[in-house]
Structure 1
Amino acid sequence: MKKNLLLSIFSGLLLWVAWPPTQFTTVFLFVGMAPMLLAMENIIRSEATGKGKKIFNTTFLGFFIWNTLCVYWVYNSLKIVGPVVAAPLSLIPYSLGPLLMATACWLYYRVRLIAGRKLSLVALVCFWIGYEYLHQSWDLNFPWMTLGNGFATSHKWVQWYEYTGVYGGTIWVWAINILLFLLYVGLREAQAVQVRKKLIVSFTLVLILPLGFSLYKYYSYKEQVNPSNIVVAQPNIDPYEKEGTIPVYDQIATLTQLSDSIGQRNTEYFIWPETAISEDMDEDHIYTDNSYLQVKKFLNKFKNANVLTGGETHKFYTKQATKTASKLPNQPGIYYDRFSTAINIENSAKVQFYHKSRLVPGAELLPFGSALSFLKPAFEHLGGATGAYGMQTEPTVFYSQSGIGAAPVICFESIWGEWVAKSVKQGAQFIAIITNDGWWENTSGKDQHLDYAKLRAIETRRWVCRSANTGISAFINQRGDIVQQSKWWVRTALKQDINLNSDITFYVEYGDYIPKAASILAVLGIFLIGIKKGFSH
């Protein structure tokens, strides 16, 4: 038992060492799961009782270590509520993913009871991908630790994400780890030499072919020349001082000064970060809003330019028009929605809005709101925002007067490959990520968030223009290379001539077809387990 726990811990540590933002250690992804597989095999082949429980507990330990060491920074974003509350709240993202991962391993054990080892290992990959897809789809979503994200610092290895998305990376990691595991147990079980040779050949091909194809794709890829001048601003305003301490007028003045300092006559987009305009704006009366007028005045100097900025907005209704709408206090029959919004302002009367759709559980969204709606008044009484944000169900593309399509992506949303791909499929020619990573302070969280954006560039073959309030602002080309980036906690602006692209990749066209197929197989596997268990009784 102790040996298996040590194997699980070793697996967790290997995966942590391999994870972004570390560089040159990504290779450990290819061996990180092997000790975990060996620990499960030892338990399955032992004479112990309660094997399923042992497998669940053993694997949970390693996955908890991996997850906690990689997303330790979550605690920093919760410190505002005090350490007594922040500590237990942090356990949710630290533990929930490992619980689902361990469940996938337990399901693998259940399949082993009714099928051979090789078929069960295929089922394990399906169960794992099913967990990853669930963890990006339900109200407690947190797809940060999807295995395919682990290649973000070694993006040259996964240029084929334009066909598979990050789930192709998950399959690659599992395939190599499983082949290593089978090679080891083959030696331990004295399998025939011919069987071991086939495994060695399979391992070599599975490792080399995707890697070789990716490197060929990376070095041969050429962008079509279609330049557009873009400016991203990083105002470096302490997130705890954005609302109430620093006047909104002064914050916008900082952004306009930064933008004006490097803007050109041909600049087509000025991109400002999430909640850059922190004062709540009424969307139906935007044209008289002081912040809007201040931005319009700045644009007088740049006749062909747009300001794509984050803001806080609201809308009023005379009925409960959306599931997230709340009653307006002391105003019978009036409802409202608050939004974390991307706003496109140009030198015309046209204003475009996009409402953040992938909300942070707890901070912006009350998970399973319809079932837990009775908690909403409690959060409102405490002054929290939980459950108070509205959203939209489909992505939006902002179009400039010259016809350029931009995909507005707000913070957390940049982790969803298919969501970003939908914007590109609708006509976006580049991706504008607006974020505020200052809540995490100077931790690896801000670096991971930047690195993951490289994968969106590869999947869609679009430039990514990233404006962060206090994070890291950057330009990323269509191969996933960071061409320019700011430093942490620096007030600055960057400009870049990017190449717009209108071609559609296979992944943009078909989205997350891999996890959808794997999830169907996983459900069939669970159904089969249930039937066999029923017959056994």
Structure 2
Amino acid sequence: MSFWIAWINVLVYLGVKNFASSRKVLTYAALILLLFLAPFVSGIKVLNQKTDAKQIDITLVQGNIPQDVKWDYKLLDYNFKVFDDLTKKVPEKVDLILWPETAAPCYLRAEPKYFSLIKSLSDSLQTPLVLGTNDYSVLGQGSYLYYNSAFYFDPYQNNFAVYNKIHLVPFSEWVPYPKILGWLYRIKFGLSDYTPGKDYVLFENPKGKFPALICFEAVFPDLVRKFVLKGADFLVNITNDGWWGKTAGPFQHAQINVFRAIENRISIARCANTGVSMFVDPYGRITQRTKIYVQDVLTGKIPLRNELTFYTRYGDWFAKGVSLLSVLILAYSLFRKVVGDR
């Protein structure tokens, strides 16, 4: 996309620069027209293709819990009650229920009361459920590692599955170069000290496999394609965008998912605490969405992946190739200048 935009701007600049030459202006105009027509024609062809892909029914539960309420331990009962009540309003049987990032704002593994509540809810509805929570592992002698995690409860299994967020937000979920910047922890502005996860976990639903990308992990194309290469049939993105406030942030963050869907030709179900929760089809079209800062329950169907795109298979080779070519051209220009100055 950026390559396409850059070239259109270059051609416009060349057209203006050579405005006195009608032949050159027409040439650049023709190239600009071609750059618009090529993706337009290709897009029409792709969007008109018929598919017989299998589908999965998913419910997104948007609790709209304010930040000051979410992290008040005394209000933990209220947090769970909101999501429990909304989930029980789901009118029909679905294949998967999603709660957002930190829907369980505690170490759920260490909270038997709330852990049992979630497990009982999943069992009673006979529906797998994904939610965000904190987690930890014991290193020994009172030492722990902490994670921003997603738990997958499956009524068909006795155990639950866990994914620990791999790509943490710097200066929010962790501090890079702690030996140099560790003093930042002494400043009380909400820093966490999470450990990045290492495993590319795919949760196994009876209808298909999927990762639970947490928050801004959906921003990173290479991270997402690795999950798809491991066999993901659809993508899930859970997030808490409540700290954005009523700004452009929640909408921009949500739109990033459109690019990941197109790159990998895969559907996405996105569940956000305060919105935007939405479904995105494999062609990047948002089929359903919620408003921000409202409680809502959204149920929809998304098709399962039935192909591997060129990008999924090979990644950012084009971007790397263009970058290398740019470096070579710059080096050659500098070399000619140095030789010419002699």
TM-score in same-fold range (> 0.5): yes
| Alignment partner of 1:247 is 2:81 | no
Select 1:390's aligned residue among 195, 209, 213. Answer: 195
Report if aligned partners of 2:53, 2:306 keep a CA contact under 8 Å in 1.
Answer: no
SS at match of 2:67: coil
Q: Aligned partners of 2:192 and 2:316: how far apart in 1?
A: 28
> In percent, how many aligned pairs have the same letter?
26
Choose which of 339, 350, 353 in structure 1 pairs with 2:162. Answer: 353
Judging changes above 3 Å, is the alpha-carbon distance between structure 1 residues 418 and 221 closer, same or farther for their aligned structure 2 residues? Answer: farther
Deviation at 1:211, TM superposition (A): 2.0
Contact between 1:224 and 1:501, CA under 8 Å: does it hold in 2?
A: no
> Kindly tell me: are residues 294 and 405 of structure 1, through their superposed partners in 2, closer, same or farther at Cα, counting changes over 3 Å?
same
Query: Offset at 1:261?
Result: 0.7
Q: Which has the higher strand share?
A: 2
Quote the residue 1:213 is aligned against. Answer: 42
TM-fit CA distance, 1:335: 3.1
Q: Structure 1 residues 253, 226: CA separation in 2 closer, same or farther (over 3 Å shift)?
A: same
Is residue 2:35 matched to residue 1:227? no
Distance 1:522 1:357 in 2: 32
What are the Cα deviations for residues 58-111 of structure 1, in whole angstroms up to 9, with x where unaligned? xxxxxxxxxxxxxxxxxxxxxxxxxxxxxxxxxxxxxxxxxxxxxxxxxxxxxx
Structure 1: how far apart are the matches of 2:44 and 2:233? 25
Picking from 95, 99, 120, the partner of 1:268 is: 95
- CA-atom RMSD, angstroms? 2.4
User: Secondary structure in 1 aligned to 2:163?
Assistant: strand
Match of 2:116 among 293, 310, 316: 293
SS at match of 2:131: strand
Aligned 8 A contact 1:407 1:429 in 2:
no
With over 3 angstroms needed to count, the CA separation of the structure-2 counterparts of 1:288 and 1:180, relative to structure 1, is closer
Deviation for aligned residue 1:393 = 4.2
Contact 2:95 2:207 in 1 (8 A): no
What's 1:185 paired with? 17
Alignment deviations for residues 321-359 of structure 1 (CA, whole Å, 9 cap, x no partner):
xxxxxxxxxxxx543222111111112222221122222
Q: CA distance change for structure 1 residues 351 and 528 in 2, over 3 Å: closer, same or farther? A: farther
Deviation at 1:302, TM superposition (A): 2.3
**SS of alignment partner, residue 88 of structure 2:** helix
Q: How far is the alpha carbon of 1:503 from its aligned partner?
A: 2.1
Partner of 2:285: 481
Q: Is the 8 A contact 2:15 2:24 kept in 1?
A: no
The 1:388/1:529 distance shift into structure 2, 3 A limit, reads farther
Quick one: which amino acid aligns to residue 373 of structure 1? K
Say if 2:179 is the partner of 1:373.
yes
Tell me what 2:230 maps to: 426
Paired with 1:420 and 1:514, the residues of 2 have a C-alpha distance of: 17
Distance 1:355 1:529 in 2: 47
Describe the shift of the 1:439–1:288 C-alpha distance in structure 2 as closer, same or farther (beyond 3 A): closer
Q: Give the partner amino acid of 1:516.
A: K
Which residues in structure 2 correspond to 1:459-478 (within 5 Å)? Answer: 459-478=263-282
Residue pair 1:234, 1:470 contacting (<8 A) in 2 also: yes
In 1: Cα distance, 2:327 partner to 2:162 partner? 38
Contact 2:281 2:287 in 1 (8 A): yes
Could you tell me how far 1:174 is from its partner in structure 2? 0.8
Question: In the alignment, does 2:129 pair up with 1:307?
Answer: yes
Deviation, 1:461, is 2.1
Aligned-pair distance for 1:275? 0.6
> Which stretches in structure 2 are left out of the alignment for 5+ residues?
none
**Aligned 8 A contact 1:229 1:497 in 2:** yes
Q: 2: distance between equivalents of 1:449 and 1:256?
A: 26
Aligned residue number for residue 241 of structure 2: 437
Length-normalised TM-score, structure 1: 0.59
The secondary structure found in structure 1 opposite 2:124 is coil
Q: Is the CA contact 1:231–1:263 (under 8 Å) kept in the aligned structure 2?
A: no
Which residue is equivalent to 1:317?
Answer: 139
Aligned to 2:173, the other structure's residue is in SS state: coil
Could you report, residue by residue, the CA deviation over 1:197-231 in whole angstroms, capped at 9, with x for unpaired residues? 3222222212222222123322x133424122111
Separation of aligned partners in 1, 2:312 and 2:305: 13
What letter matches 2:97 in structure 1?
A: F
The whole-number CA distance in structure 1 between the counterparts of 2:29 and 2:185 is 60
Q: Which secondary structure state, in structure 2, belongs to the residue aligned with residue 365 of structure 1? A: coil
Q: How many correspondences in the alignment? A: 340
